[in-house]
Amino acid sequence: MLTLQFTPTAKVKMEQITAKVNTKIGTYLHAFWECPVVSPFWTDVIKNLEKWIGLPIPASPQMCLLGDKSLLPPGFTMDMYGLAVAGFIVATRLILRVWKSPHGPRIEDWFGLMTETGAFERLISKVNNTLDKTNRIWSRFLSFVGSNSSAVQKPKPELRTWQQFPPGIQRTMKTTVGGRGTTRVIRPKQLYPI
């Protein structure tokens, strides 16, 4: 059961100094939109969404953070709006991921998260039997990904040799297959992803 309690003072307060630029502006609007580290990222996001959709998107926090439809230009369909909102939500998620770090979000990470989100949306639509609607919404992004495969690249996993592991790790691994335990020796020069 969830309990709601009212207190005379707020329990959680936003810090007055932001971690990225060390200014005295510590509001959510500054952290998500006005910060000089975050604002170039929003410019890139809006530029890419405009390229995919083919119509201008107003660069305002009312549109990008709240999803206000009243600011959309005429001719903006619901499918275009769905892709734009997905892009804005992914951008906001990425800003939250790098909230405390001194660097801002990168557009390459945004492309990767958009690709993951599109894949999840496709899987959900297959289960719900709404694949046509999802394909209409995501077709503009998928055509971009198909034509520009170098824009979305996953980082290669870092590999370690056996000598780089801490000394306490055992050199044998016991596996159970069909009720029988078998022991396999791990070779010292074998590489393992982190």
Q: Could you read off the pLDDT of 38-64 as tens digits, one per residue?
A: 999 999 999 999 999 999 999 999 999
Q: Residue 95 domain-assigned?
A: yes
Is 184 in the same domain as 108?
no
pLDDT at residue 93 is higher than 70: yes
Give the CB-side neighbour count of residue 122, counting CA atoms within 13 A.
12
Altogether, the residues listed in the chain come to a count of 194
Same domain, 118 and 181: no
Res 163 pLDDT > 70: no
Tokens standing for 90?
């992914």
178 with 137, same domain: the answer is: no
Three-class DSSP category at 174? strand
- Do residues 91 and 36 share a domain? yes
Same domain for 117 and 166, yes or no, is: no
User: What's the total number of domains in the chain?
Assistant: 2
Both 142 and 169 in one domain: the answer is: no
Structure tokens of 170? 């055992």
pLDDT category at 79 given cuts 50, 70, 90 is very high
CA–centroid distance for 166 within its chain: 32
pTM of the full structure? 0.67
Q: What is the pLDDT of residue 160?
A: 42
Determine the pLDDT at residue 191. 46
Q: Which domain holds residue 187?
A: 159-193
- Say how far apart CA 31 and CA 20 lie, in whole Å: 9
pLDDT at 35 over 70: yes
Residues 33 and 108 in one domain: yes
Position 3 in a domain:
no
Q: 140 falls in which pLDDT band (50, 70, 90)?
A: confident
43 and 104 assigned to the same domain: yes
